Chains A and B, each alone.
Chain A
Amino acid sequence: MSPSLPKRFAVRVGAMAWKEVLHIRRDPRTIVLALVMPVVLLLIFGYGVSFDLDRIPLAVSDLDRSEASRRLSLAFTTSGEFAPAGGEAADGADTAFRRRRARAILVVPRGYAKDLARGEAGRAELLLDGADPVTANQILTKADAIALAETQRMASEAGAAFAPPLEVKVFTRYNPEARSAVFMVPGLAAYLMAIAAVLLTALTIAGEWERGSMEQLFASPVGRLEIVLGKLVPYLGLGLVQLLLVVVVGATAFDVPIRGNPLLVLLAGFLFLLGMLGQGLFISVVAKNQLVATQAGALSSLLPSLLLSGMLVPLDNMPLPLRLLSTVVPARYLVDALRQILLKGNGLGGIGPDLVAMAAFAAAIVGLATARFRRRIA
């Protein structure tokens, strides 16, 4: 009649967890939030929010109309990075930029071929739409590279070996093509898991308060820890499925490598999720209604994991206060750990500090939430 204490504990946690699984199954919103949204966001970020620019519309204003000027504009438009956007008068630049017909205009002034033939430096102008500095910067880099290649070509045609005084060769490791998907997937995984985990737990516990069933639970022998564990376990499972989904979609759709041990990915995800679920728990324990819990949950998960995780903005460039703040954002450690595992193939040695930091956050926040969680009403 009276089973042992650990068994009763397991039965009660099991009952809570199973009930939660049933809620999740019944509620299409949860499934959408947890499993469909990540894939959609990943595709949007992967394809849409790409920092790799190609086929930038380039207008050419060729005033020289010589063989040399035509070759210069061809060098630009056949590179694949720029796409010809028709001819344009230099004084029509503003209109072209405003109507977004072109992001850059190549102006070859009259006398370009003559200057070259005289052995002087050929001058051409590149007008840039500086409204978006990221794009403008990339255009500049690419234009420099094309100009350099064109110089080398002309030099070799003239029979003279072109030897620049200093040549720096850059080899980028781990993401040689600088594809943003490779860079983004670890960040996205953290971002998506943070939102889903914090929001879903915050909602489920606040829901029990609103519905009045929390009082019923408190009147039963189910303990705080049992409620907390029963709530966490199903969402932990859901979060790990989410992580796998993001990694697999990243690998198949965007060729994000998985160089390290996939089990380490799961371990890092597990520790991160514990912290995020604890954060959701804490919010719902304090908020007690779904509306406030949603807002607090979204704000506290979305912004830090987007801005302070190193996903979009490198942490090293941030002002000191923000850098300090980021040390308590678990997303930062997950992004770092995932990049290490996926891109570099690092093992426990490399990600150890990240794991410790995430575990510490999880322990602190779950402890805090359980302590704040009072089983007596009022």
Chain B
Amino acid sequence: MSAQSTIEAVGLTRRFGEFTAVDGVTFGVERGEIFGYLGANGAGKSTTIRMLIGLLAPTSGSATVAGHDVASDPEAVKRSIGYMSQRFSLYLDLPVFENLRFFGGAYGLWGRELESRIGEVLELTGLSEHRRALTGTLPGGIRQRLALGSAVLHRPSIVFLDEPTAGVDPVARRSFWRLIRDLSTGGTTVFVTTHYLDEAEYCRRIGLMVDGRLVALDTPSALKRAWVPDRVLVVRGRGLARAAEALRRRPGVHAVEPFGAGLHVRADPALWNRAAVQEALAAAGAESPTVDETEPSLEDVFLAVVGGSAAAGASGAGAAP
């Protein structure tokens, strides 16, 4: 890929016995970019990350991270990156600053430099007031910020975040993503896996994994254009349930799904527009429906990519809250 790439994977593959967890994945991540890696549970996201950070040797293919080959020089990779694993791995019985001190020390920081970095990271993550708190007593969202803080103590040029917001409430997730954006603005490359599709909107580019293969890779809006060519309309009004049934049978209408109190309609843009949908619904018995055009969501993209019958199974894991 471009000379700017700081992560480059070419045909990266990992097998566990007969099972191929990651199958010939090729991509590049640019400096300072937030790169989202999406997929249902078991799609191969964590396995990809573990290969990229030097924890797991690739079966075949290659990858360089920050200029170091992950297979031949994993130690150099480890020194130049930060990693926040999927399982919460701070020490709950230690105070916040002792966790930071430990992870700083693990990366060779010490003395005055360590203390000043701890101060900066506490500031960055907004944890200064919790400095002395026992980590186990803090709510999940704050712990995640601390985990991210301990992953960036040594100023890595790239951070890998494996499902950093799993099980965290929406408000805390938003503040966590603000932190990720701050890091990216400061020039840090962020490689993040998630199965929250709303979060993926924050990423500059998204890679979509299905069954170990990278099936789509682009910016969120390009993905939407490419995978969901339909016109997406939001309908509000009364008596929609019966009208929806009628609309669903019309040619060029691809999907009519309940969405809150209203409907989500996906239809062929050549045949359908706002007025046409409004007219059709009114004719089918809906009372003064209002129709607005909207951008397809990443969930639409995800369902389109996973496709057909697989969509039913994957939508549970990939559903936006």
Interface residues of A (CB under 8 A from B): 3, 8, 11-12, 14-16, 18-19, 22-23, 26-27, 211-213, 215-222, 375-378
Q: Are A216 and B98 in contact (CB under 8 A)?
A: no
Interface residue ranges of B56-113 to A (CB < 8 Å):
56-57, 74-75, 78-79, 81, 83, 85, 87-91, 93-94, 98, 101-110
Point out the residue from B87, B98, B103, B107 that lies within 8 Å of A22, measured CB to CB.
Answer: B98
Chain B interface residue count, CB cutoff 8 Å, equals 32
Least CB distance, B102 to chain A, in whole angstroms: 5
**Contact A219 to B104, CB < 8 A, known contacts A19-B94, A19-B98:** no
Pairwise interchain contact B107-A221, C-beta atoms closer than 8 A: yes
Would you give the shortest CB distance from A355 to chain B, in whole angstroms? 34
Across the two chains, which residue of chain A brings its CB closest to B87? A212
For the complex of A and B, 4 pairs with smallest distance between CB atoms = A15-B105, A212-B87, A216-B89, A213-B89
Known: A215-B87, A220-B103. A11 touches B53 (CB 8 A): no
Q: Which residue of B lies closest to A226 (CB)?
A: B106
Identity of the chain A residue whose Cβ is nearest the Cβ of B53 in the assembled complex: A219
Q: Once the chains bind, are A378 and B56 in contact (CB under 8 Å)?
A: yes
Complex: A222 Cα to B103 Cα, angstroms: 10
Question: What is the distance, in angstroms, from B166's C-beta to the closest C-beta of chain A?
Answer: 13
The answer to whether the Cβ of B248 comes within 8 Å of any Cβ in the partner chain is: no
Counting chain B CB atoms within 10 Å of each CB, the highest count among A18, A217, A378 belongs to: A378
Docked complex Cα distance between A27 and B94 (Å) = 11
A234 CB → nearest B CB, Å: 13
CB contacts (< 8 Å) of B107 on chain A: these are 220-221
B36 within 8 A of partner (CB): no
Whether the pair A15, B85 counts as a contact (CB closer than 8 A) is: no
- In the assembled complex, the CB of A210 is this many whole angstroms from the nearest CB of chain B, namely 10
How far, in angstroms, from A12 to B88 measured CA to CA in the complex? 21
Q: Is the CB of B94 within 8 A of A18?
A: no
| Least distance between B105 CB and chain A CB atoms (Å) | 2
B94:A217 contact, CB within 8 angstroms: no
Sample (15) of A-B pairs whose CB atoms are under 8 Å apart: A11-B105, A11-B108, A15-B102, A19-B102, A23-B94, A27-B93, A211-B89, A212-B88, A215-B55, A219-B55, A220-B83, A221-B106, A376-B55, A377-B55, A378-B56
Q: Which of A11, A27, A216, A222 contacts B110 (CB 8 A)?
A: A11
Q: Is A3's CB under 8 angstroms from B88's CB?
A: no
* Further contacts, 19 of them, CB under 8 A, given A19-B91, A219-B53: A12-B105, A12-B106, A15-B101, A19-B102, A22-B93, A22-B94, A26-B94, A212-B85, A213-B90, A215-B55, A215-B87, A216-B83, A216-B89, A219-B55, A220-B103, A222-B106, A376-B55, A376-B57, A378-B16
Report the Cα distance A377→B46, complex, angstroms. 12
Given contacts A15-B101, A221-B79, A377-B50, contact A216 B94 (CB under 8 A): no
Q: Which chain A residue shows the least CB distance to B47?
A: A378
Q: How far is the CB of A329 from chain B (nearest CB, A)?
A: 34
**Which of chain B's residues have a CB closer than 8 A to the CB of A378?**
16, 56
Instruction: Verify B78–A212 contact, CB threshold 8 A.
Output: no
- Cβ–Cβ < 8 Å partners of A11 in chain B: 105, 108-110
> Which A residues are in CB contact (< 8 Å) with B103?
220
Whether B56 contacts A377 by the Cβ 8 Å rule is yes
The CA of A378 and the CA of B56, in the complex, are separated in Å by 7
**B54 interface residue per 8 A CB criterion:** yes
Q: Give chain B residues whose Cβ lies under 8 Å from the Cβ of A15.
A: 101-102, 104-106, 110
Question: A219 near B101 (CB under 8 angstroms)?
Answer: no
| Nearest neighbor of A222 in chain B, beta-carbon distance | B106
Which residues in A have their C-beta under 8 angstroms from that of B104? 15
Name the residue on A nearest B104 (C-beta). Answer: A15
